[in-house]
Each structure stands twice: as C-alpha cells, then as structure tokens.
Chains A and B, each alone.
Chain A
Amino acid sequence: MLDYRDVQLQLGGRPVLDGFDLRLEAGERVGILGPSGAGKSSLLKLIAGLLPAQGGQCRSDFRHAVLVFQEPRLLPWCRVGENLEIPLRAIGHGAAAARRLALDWLQRVGLEQYAQAWPGQLSGGMAQRVALARAFAVQPDLLLLDEPFSALDPALRGALTQLCREGLEHTGATLLCVSHHPHELIELVDRCVLLDSGRGRCFGIAAPGDAEARRATANSLQSVLMNLESSPS
C-alpha cells in the first residue's frame, strides 16, 4: 500500500505538489491526469525515489517501484538483450537466469529476434516495447508509467497499451500511470486522479465497467482537462 498525505514538493523553489494526498492499494490501477506543468511526472519521480519530498507523510509498502519514462532510456552501447539482463543481474539473478528471463520478456513483446541488436537500430515503438519488457522483467510490485506512449503514433499506442495490460496481468503489479490522454488512460486503469496545477488538489473519478460508460467518463475527463489547460493558473 502507498499512503501519501499532505505531501509538499518543490522544484527550484517553485511548489509542484502542495498538500497532495494519494492512497494506492496493492493491485490497483490508477491514472493521474492533469494539465501540462501540474507535477504529474514529478509525482512519479517522487514515488520512484528520484526526488525528495519537502514535507508531509510518504509511506509505501511497495518493495520495488519501477518507473517507465516517456523516452525508452535504453543504454545505447549495450545490446537490446543486455538492456534487460543488467537490471535483472542488479536484483540478484545469475547470468544464465537473467539471459533466460530477458529473452522470455523480449519474446512477450515480440522482439526476441532483436536481442543482439543495438538500441539505436530500433524504431521508437520497438525501443519503448523493450523499455516495457525491461520494466516487467524485474517483476515490480509498483509500476509507474510516465506517458510512455506519448511520442508514438495512435496505432502503436493501442498496441503498447495492450502489451501493458498483459504485463500487468502476468506480474500482478500495482499501476500508477500518468497521461494527458483520458481516452487512452481509461483503457488501462480502474480510477483516475485529477492533479490540479499549483493547488495540489485531487479528484477521484470512478471508471465504470462497460465500454459506453468508459467513453463517457473519458469525455468528461477530457473536458475538465481542457478547462484546466485554458484557465490561468
């Protein structure tokens, strides 16, 4: 479980999160929506331990939170397979087990034939699939997605969302996903939190079960988001 209360986060003296609350139960899939500059990515970095909070209570029972960034962030001088093996070795897998697991996950994302390729030889979509495979391979209990599909074309985004769903089914990881595309986010999560820039207020919006209702929820989220984008902060 993750329990953040009254969290304060500043970057360069500017308040990013101000009295932010978030509660995340194990196995939940939660989306974070918000206008540009609202602090969505900073929130994920805070949870991943890349940024320190300046105040409030940050409690987390998750053992291993893995953040998938907007860019694949693969080591360009290591082959694709090695990019998966290195994190696996870091968490204690032996060389042979790491290689086996790396190939297994590359196979799941349909890129096993690229294990010996260099990341620079992959397209953007392929590289992001490798980044997803790397994230799932280390079996995180909390997966943080920071708009990982934002740079890809819509067709690829759909395929990667599907891959993501399958990975979550397989690992049972809890998900916290940041996006500014409600229609995509709603395909992946059970509920959404709207992060309002500056004020640090959040709103819980339940995502209904059937497709029609999901689309309606996404539409209303989209209009709220557009209002926030257009209103002066």
Chain B
Amino acid sequence: MKLQIQGPTSRYWAALGVLLLLLAWQIAAQRLGSLLMATPWQTLQALVQLLGSEEFHQHGLVTLGRIGLGVGLGCTLGSCLGVLAGLDARLRGLLEPLRWLLMAIPPVVVVVLAMLWFGLGSAMVVFISVLMLAPGMYVNTVKGMLLVDRGLIEMAHVYRLGPWQRLRYLYVPALAAPLTAALLIAACGGVRLVVMAEVLGADSGAGFALANARSTFDSAGLYAWTLLLLLLVAGLEFSLLQPLQRYLSRWQVAAHA
C-alpha cells in the first residue's frame, strides 16, 4: 500500500478547513454583532479600502521593515551563536544561563523594559524581536550541531576541509532541517511579536493601527489589519520558507524516489 502524505487530497481537506473557519467566523459575527466582530464580507470590504489608503502604505511598510530586521537579526544571531556553541562546549556552558533567562522571561516584561530603555519606536520593537527570537534559533542550531554525523566530521578532517568548507558543505546542510523548521517558527512568531510590541508601545506600524482601530471601535478595520497580517504570515510560509525547505531537502526526495 502506498502511503500518501501530501497531495491533492490533503489540499482539498485544507480548503475545507478554511471554509469551515469562515463559516464559524460568519456565525460568531452574526451572534456578536458588527461592533464586536465584523463579518468576513465586512472585513474584506475594509481590507480593499485599506489597501488603497495612505495608512496602509505608511504603517504596513514600517511593520514589514521591523519584521525583516527583527527576524533577520534574531535568526542570524541565534544561528551564528548556535554554530559556535555547537563547536565549543565552553561557549555552550557560558551561554546557557542567558539562553534560559531569555526563554523563561515573559515577552511582556521585555516589552516594558525595552520601552523604558529605548522609548517608543522601531529600536524598541526590533530589540524585542531579536531578544525573543534568537534563543529559539540558538537552541535548534545547537541541537542540530550536536547531531551532525561524527563519521562525516571525521571524513572532513581526513580530507583537510577548511573551516569555511566544513561550514558550507557539512554543518549548514546538516542543519538545514532543524534550521528551516526554526526559521518557520521564528518568522511566524516574529510577525506576532512585532505587532504585539507595536500595540503596546509604538507610534507607527500595523500594531499601532490595530490599537487605533480598537480604540475607535472600528471593528472592520481591526479585522482587516488582522487578516492582512495573516496573509503576510501565509505569504512568508508558502512562498518563501516552504520552497526553501523543499530546495534544501531535494537530495532526500531524489534518494527516496
């Protein structure tokens, strides 16, 4: 019997899942009323209006920039430190308390502290994103490094592969699976973090616009911004991260074909 994990069947079920969610949303919106929850149709209308407005360009671009910077810096810092810590047990021990501290501290505490240190604005939002995303990336990278095939490390030694070659041809490909999974979590989490930080303490961005919509009881606007953020996460996942995952694991697909 052939085991089918992905394919048209799973896509049909996913489409059905989306339809069910929309249906649940429609029912809930009708029961709660448009002041508390906009219907999918009202949200779509508000979204179309939002896309043509100056507000979207102004706040949307700011948020995109912050997500790019926060996720990029957080992931780069976490994975670089993870590679180094994977190679050196002393550094791993040295970084362990900091890793634990950053993973245990509630994000809202970091937001409050960052607002005190940096004030309102992009620096605060990016700082929070980096601080919250780097530990997850670090942990995944370290675990991946410790699982790199010892036999291949010996082979690299025998054939005198230099540090750059080991990184490029041994460690990075060996880390591809845990890193792309961590990157997916970081990118989606990064969007949520940036928006949360903007809601709590920024004077621009999608989170700021969300907070404004909430305070003016603009339910449709609130849901339109939320839908926009969901579309951003979907875009990141389906058009960037999943193709990257497929590219990096093409050797496995070919080997099992």
- Contacts A50-B157, A86-B161, A90-B160; is A77 near B151 (CB within 8 Å)? no
A40 CB to nearest chain B CB (Å)? 16
9 CB-based A-B contacts, threshold 8 Å: A48-B158, A49-B158, A66-B159, A73-B154, A75-B173, A76-B251, A77-B251, A90-B162, A120-B255
B10 close to chain A: CB less than 8 A? no
Q: Which residues of chain A are within 8 angstroms of B255 by Cβ–Cβ distance? A: 76, 118-121
- Contacts A120-B251, A120-B252, A121-B255; is A78 near B158 (CB within 8 Å)? no
A215 close to chain B: CB less than 8 A? no
B151 CB to nearest chain A CB (Å)? 5
**Contact across chains for B151 and A73 when beta carbons are under 8 A apart:** yes
Per-residue A-contact encoding for B166-201, CB less than 8 Å = 1, 0 else: 000110011010000000000000000000000000
The winner among B152, B154, B248, B252 for most chain A CB atoms within 10 A is B154
A93 close to chain B: CB less than 8 A? no
Per-residue B-contact encoding for A47-77, CB less than 8 Å = 1, 0 else: 0111000000000000011110101010111
Interface residues of B in 57-110 (CB under 8 A from A): none
Per-residue A-contact encoding for B242-255, CB less than 8 Å = 1, 0 else: 00000010011011
B96 CB to nearest chain A CB (Å)? 26
Residue of chain B at shortest CB distance from A89: B165
Q: State the 3 A-B residue pairs at the shortest beta-carbon distance, nearest first.
A: A120-B255, A87-B159, A77-B173
Q: Which residues of chain A are within 8 angstroms of B256 by Cβ–Cβ distance? A: 120
- Contacts A77-B251, A120-B252; is A87 near B151 (CB within 8 Å)? no
**Contact across chains for A75 and B165 when beta carbons are under 8 A apart:** no
A138 close to chain B: CB less than 8 A? yes
Q: Which residues of chain B are within 8 angstroms of A155 by Cβ–Cβ distance? A: none
B23 close to chain A: CB less than 8 A? no
The winner among B151, B155, B174, B251 for most chain A CB atoms within 10 A is B155
Assembled-state Cα–Cα distance A120/B249 (Å)? 12
- Contacts A78-B169, A120-B252; is A66 near B161 (CB within 8 Å)? no
Q: Which of B158, B165, B248 contacts A50 (CB 8 A)?
A: B158
- Given contact pairs A49-B157, A89-B165, A90-B161, enumerate 4 new A-B contacts (beta carbons under 8 Å): A49-B158, A66-B159, A69-B151, A77-B251
Q: Which residues of chain B are within 8 angstroms of A117 by Cβ–Cβ distance? A: 254
Q: Which residues of chain B are within 8 angstroms of A96 by Cβ–Cβ distance? A: none
The winner among B152, B174, B176, B251 for most chain A CB atoms within 10 A is B251
**Contact across chains for A66 and B151 when beta carbons are under 8 A apart:** no
Assembled-state Cα–Cα distance A119/B154 (Å)? 18
The winner among B152, B159, B251 for most chain A CB atoms within 10 A is B159
Q: Which residues of chain B are within 8 angstroms of A64 by Cβ–Cβ distance? A: 160
Assembled-state Cα–Cα distance A138/B251 (Å)? 25
Assembled-state Cα–Cα distance A181/B249 (Å)? 39
Interface residues of A in 76-91 (CB under 8 A from B): 76-78, 82, 86-87, 89-91
Q: Which residues of chain B are within 8 angstroms of A71 by Cβ–Cβ distance? A: 151
Assembled-state Cα–Cα distance A67/B159 (Å)? 9
Assembled-state Cα–Cα distance A90/B161 (Å)? 5
Assembled-state Cα–Cα distance A71/B151 (Å)? 9
A201 CB to nearest chain B CB (Å)? 28
**Contact across chains for B251 and A90 when beta carbons are under 8 A apart:** no
**Contact across chains for B160 and A91 when beta carbons are under 8 A apart:** yes
Q: Which residues of chain B are within 8 angstroms of A77 by Cβ–Cβ distance? A: 173-174, 176, 248, 251
Per-residue B-contact encoding for A82-118, CB less than 8 Å = 1, 0 else: 1000110111000000000000000000000000011
B152 CB to nearest chain A CB (Å)? 6
- Contacts A78-B169, A86-B159, A90-B159; is A73 near B152 (CB within 8 Å)? yes
Assembled-state Cα–Cα distance A67/B151 (Å)? 12
Residue of chain A at shortest CB distance from B176: A77
Q: Which residues of chain B are within 8 angstroms of A120 by Cβ–Cβ distance? A: 251-252, 254-256
Q: Which residues of chain B are within 8 angstroms of A121 by Cβ–Cβ distance? A: 254-255, 257
Assembled-state Cα–Cα distance A89/B169 (Å)? 12
Residue of chain B at shortest CB distance from A75: B169
Per-residue A-contact encoding for B212-254, CB less than 8 Å = 1, 0 else: 0000000000000000000000000000000000001001101
- Contacts A86-B161, A120-B252; is A50 near B154 (CB within 8 Å)? yes
Q: Which residues of chain B are within 8 angstroms of A49 by Cβ–Cβ distance? A: 157-158
